[in-house]
Amino acid sequence: MNIENFELIYKDNRVIIENKPKIKEKLSKIVGNANVSDNEIDIMAYNKDTTLLAFNWTLEGKLTALPDFIVWPETPEQISSILKLANEEGIPVIPFSEGSGAVGGAIAIYGGIILDMKKFNKILEINDKDLTVTVEAGTNGMNLERYLNAKGYTGGHIPQSLYTSSVGGWIAHRAAGQFSSKYGKIEDIVMGMELVLPQGDIIKFKTIARASTGPQLDKLFIGNEGTLGIVTKATLKIWPFPEKRALISYAFTTFEDSLEATRQILRQQIYPAVIRIYDADETYRHFGHIENAKNKVMVVFVCEGVKKLVDLEAIITRETCEKNNGIDCGEEPVNHWFETRFRVTETSFAPTLKMVADTIEIGFLWDNAANMYHSVLETTKKVKGVIMMTAHISHFYPNGIGFYFTFAGIPPEEKTDLEFYQEVWNTVVKVVEDAGGSFSHHHGVGITRSHWMPVEWGKAFETLKSIKKLLDPNNILNPGKIYESPWDEGMES
């Protein structure tokens, strides 16, 4: 056994499966021998998602968690049978798609069955009149987008993890793409869904532009993080591939000016597909080569769509930036962003210096946003060991924004990586929650953020927990996430 050579991070409260061979046989009966494994090589492959701390553990030769089985179902009916079996036997089932989740959502902290959705990878139908695509939930984002592009469309949902995430993962985490100011976030894009509920019922939400048929129950499952149901299929909005793109960038002397310019743009109902504000530190990191951006705050815009509209959007965007003291930096910064946006190298570098890093993307209203930004920076930098705290803003609404903080630090000798990590997070969340913000804009809750759910939700959290209990009375679907926090011990609230 190799696994004994690896320290296991999540080792407490593991489910004890009395008769593993019997369970394996039953799973094989459902999905076939080739679609079940308890081989070391497979269960090790599913020991983690893309939680940044897990990269440090990987390098140090540790395993984040260990599932008992991996299954690769191919039909909703098979998923239903797996869930029924899991309920009978009391075994956790953890949905897994591309494993790019950043909050531990797909990690089998108590062991159990990883239910990998990768074999649900067919693009079923494009409807040009309705502007929809129906797709199986395990389909990789880039493979979907490339397909749509080849047929003359875009899905408009382009997260930075496009290459390494799936439709089901997007829905599960209420994801947001980089082009979201124009095309919307995933909850604006999903039009219909098929799901398997924790006890095995298969339900469908009809594809419709809008309906008034009682509460919108489908929304409950967008952001359910694989705890209330497993998405097997979805119908998503699509758009004709943009006829024109305008690439615009402005540098601002103050963060406040950049916020004011973008807020005014949106107030005029101008929706550039991409808007990104980089604070001065991130401007130096990403646009250090742009002369006009020295010691400034860079803002990049991409307006896209029908030519006439793009031209108008570009004019208003430019005018508004200039009115707010913006300095035109031309197309180069935007081209640079296009060239580098998927080239992720930091995750390979930071762990080799034993650095602990993470991204904290929070939701905030416009009012007081600048103050909140400054106080997050100020308080976090005081945490011993923090060496970097920077931010950009990547998502914009007429009423608010999604901040994206990045921190990195070297845990002081008296602290473990995890303790340091939690201290930074506690600090940020406190500032954000005190100021009325939300602790996650689009990465979700998972394991790493569930600790703050009671603060975020208040009394409504009890309602949410009741819903979970109703749908999943045996708590077999993705336990240890959202509703309970395996990290509570030793954490300050």
Applying CB under 8 A, which of residues 123, 309, 388, 491 lies at the interface with another protein? 388
Considering only the stretches 84-92, 141-149, 269-277, 371-379, report the one whose residues sit in contact with another protein under the rule CB under 8 A.
141-149
Q: Would you say 115 and 99 are in contact if contact means Cβ atoms under 8 Å apart?
A: no
Binding of ligand FAD by 254 (CB under 6 A)? no
Under the binding rule (CB under 6 A), the answer on residue 204 touching ligand FAD is no
38-67: which residues touch another protein (CB under 8 A)?
39-42, 45-46, 50, 55, 58-59, 61
Instruction: Name which position in 216, 268, 348, 368 contacts another protein (CB under 8 A).
Output: 348
Question: What is the residue whose two structure tokens read 């124009």?
Answer: 182
Q: Among residues 78, 100, 178, 394, which is the contact residue for another protein, using CB under 8 A? A: 100
Residue 142 interacts, among another protein, ligand FAD, none and using kind-specific CB cut-offs from 5 to 8 Å, with another protein
List the one residue from 48, 318, 392, 442 that touches ligand FAD (CB under 6 A): 442
Chain residues 160-179 in contact with another protein, contact rule CB under 8 A: 161, 163-164
> If binding is defined by CB under 6 A, does position 159 make contact with ligand FAD?
yes
Contact set for ligand FAD, span 86-125 (CB under 6 A) = 94-102, 105-106, 117
Contacted by 216, from ligand FAD, another protein, none: CB < 5 to 8 Å by type: none
449 with 101: CB under 8 angstroms?
no
Binding footprint of another protein on the chain (CB under 8 A):
1-2, 5-6, 39-42, 45-46, 50, 55, 58-59, 61, 70, 72, 96, 98-100, 116, 118-119, 121, 138, 140-143, 146-147, 150, 161, 163-164, 284-285, 288, 342-345, 347-349, 351-355, 384-385, 387-388, 409-410, 412-413
Binding footprint of ligand FAD on the chain (CB under 6 A):
49-50, 94-102, 105-106, 117, 137, 159-161, 165-166, 168-170, 172-173, 175-176, 178, 225-226, 230-231, 344, 442-444, 478
